[in-house]
Amino acid sequence: MLTREENELLVRIGPGTPMGDMVRRYWVPALLSDEIPEPDSPPVQVSLLGESLVAFRDSTGRIGLLDEHCSHRGTSLFYGRNEDEGLRCIYHGWKFDVEGRVLDTPAEPPDSRFKEKVTHTAYPAHEVNGMVFAYLGPAHKRPLFPGYEWADASRSMTYVTKSLLDCNYLQGLEGECDNSHTSFLHSGVRGATAVAADNYTEKDRAPRYQIEATDFGLSLQAIRAAESGLSYVRTTRFLMPLSANVPVASRNAEGDLDGFEVHFYTPLDDSRTWRFDFGFRRTQPLTEHDVHRRSQIGPDFRRIRRLDNHYLQDRDLQRSIDFTGIQDFLNEDACATESMGPIVDRSREHLGASDQGVIALRRFLLDAIRAHQHGEEPPHIVKDSTLNDFRHSGATAGLVESTANGASDLVESARLDDLNTVAVESHGSSRSRRYTHALE
């Protein structure tokens, strides 16, 4: 468990907080491209890291992300006119471009140079495959956008959804690093139907873990028993600061995953989070199943099944077929994390061996925050274009020989009766260190 002080370090993300200041050093998802679909389309409100912003696409297609409130008298620019390469406030006509320059102050005298003395808060935006990322940190420290495999995928081979979580970002992100929950939260009722031969998550519900620090964050392997001489290895990747690559995709003709998904958890504020689910395929066309989450989300990006209607849980279904009685993985995840409360008190937890990935994530983030407070660069800040290749951060899942590197030879699971710790070791990483944390 964490101390209350450690918990506060992790969950507070507003301007001036240690975690908030660190996250602002990265590109983070802010909105979907479809929210501002064409030049001069209406602006949209964007809540991001405790700040109220407005996004718009100007006449030439450039994206602006501005402080929502006009620098003149504070009227919301959400109601402004998006025209002629700028966003104009409806109160006195002040007009701003995507970089925050004041283009026009029509209520001032014709010879006034007042507009040259004012700069409106504006943040850089980067658009890739249907998502708009924002950088809210110091301008002189702006990094490159990381060279991920999914960022180079054809747009026609990608899909993305956005949905609101009524809880702190960390509760959602921890779920991505917790592989054992898939054997319960996303399972059927044991004995109700036959377990498929290749459903290893239900056959072995207590996986062993191998966790390593990497140049992008953490690599988390969950190893389960499979057929004689084989192990089922599911590799998830945590990427700084707020995302995870997960092995969710159809398989190609060779039996390999034909892509993976990236789940981002962007804080609106301390108690609300945007969950972005992005997926891509390398060779196969998308199917209706790939975009199944869309039917679970309303036009306001709120899920149809949510806390205030108890996720429309079906108790009859829960008794007979489905472990939760809640439809779709998206809603099951939300129930598990939102029902903890807006901000969970981690000092009251009782962690076990199944929580090794969660513990590793927390230690990694706390180490990064403290190092950043002492003037060190956070991990996975990309400045050198010759090193900007992170195709190795993909997620995978499949069978390996139990004696092969990557299964039992690679795994030395922490023994609670000996060490009462979980260890995360980096091999050849620029951040070579060993993390340990008492389970209880």
| Cross-strand partners of 238 | 218, 244
pLDDT for 403 equals 56
Tens of pLDDT, residues 222-265:
999 998 889 999 999 999 999 999 999 888 888 889 999 999 99
- Alpha-carbon gap, residue 35 to 134, rounded angstroms: 15
pLDDT for 201 equals 81
pLDDT for 30 equals 98
Rounded to the nearest 10 degrees, what angle do helices 329-338 and 169-176 cross at?
130
Q: What is the mean pLDDT of residues 300-321?
A: 95
Tens of pLDDT, residues 336-354:
999 999 999 999 999 999 9
pLDDT for 246 equals 96
- Domain spanning 150-438, CATH architecture: Alpha-Beta Complex (3.90)
Determine the residue type at 21.
Answer: D
pLDDT for 431 equals 36
Tens of pLDDT, residues 17-55:
999 999 999 999 999 999 999 999 999 999 999 999 999
* CB < 8 Å & 24+ apart, contacts of 5-10: 6/346, 6/362, 6/366, 7/345, 7/346, 7/347, 9/366, 9/369, 10/170, 10/362, 10/365, 10/366, 10/369
pLDDT for 187 equals 85
- Alpha-carbon gap, residue 396 to 375, rounded angstroms: 35
204 pLDDT more than 50:
yes
Q: Is the pTM of this model over 0.95?
A: no
pLDDT for 437 equals 36
Among 71-75, 96-100, 199-203, which stretch is predicted with the lowest mean pLDDT? 199-203
Q: Which two tokens stand for residue 269?
A: 């504020």
Topology of domain 27-139 in CATH is Rieske Iron-sulfur Protein (2.102.10)
- Alpha-carbon gap, residue 373 to 115, rounded angstroms: 37
413 pLDDT more than 80:
no
**Domain boundaries in the chain?**
27-139, 150-438
- Alpha-carbon gap, residue 331 to 324, rounded angstroms: 10
Residue 12 — pLDDT band, cuts 50, 70, 90?
A: very high
pLDDT above 70: percentage of residues in the chain: 89
Q: What is the mean pLDDT of residues 433-440?
A: 35
* 125 or 179: which leads in pLDDT: 125
Among 188-197, 225-234, 238-247, 405-414, which stretch is predicted with the lowest mean pLDDT? 405-414
pLDDT for 408 equals 44
* 435 or 158: which leads in pLDDT: 158
425 pLDDT more than 60:
no
pLDDT for 417 equals 30
- Could you please report the per-residue DSSP string of 350-383? ---GGGHHHHHHHHHHHHHHHHHHTTPPPTT---
405 pLDDT more than 60:
no
Place of tokens 């980096």: 426
pLDDT for 202 equals 81
**Do the two domains 27-139 and 150-438 of this chain adopt the same fold?**
no
Please return the burial class of 243, using the count of CB atoms within 10 Å of its CB with bins 0-12, 13-18 and 19+: buried
Residues composing the chain = 440
Tens of pLDDT, residues 254-310:
888 999 999 999 999 999 999 999 999 999 999 888 888 999 999 999 999 999 999
423 pLDDT more than 50:
no
- Alpha-carbon gap, residue 172 to 293, rounded angstroms: 16
Residue 190 — pLDDT band, cuts 50, 70, 90?
A: low
Residue 420 — pLDDT band, cuts 50, 70, 90?
A: very low
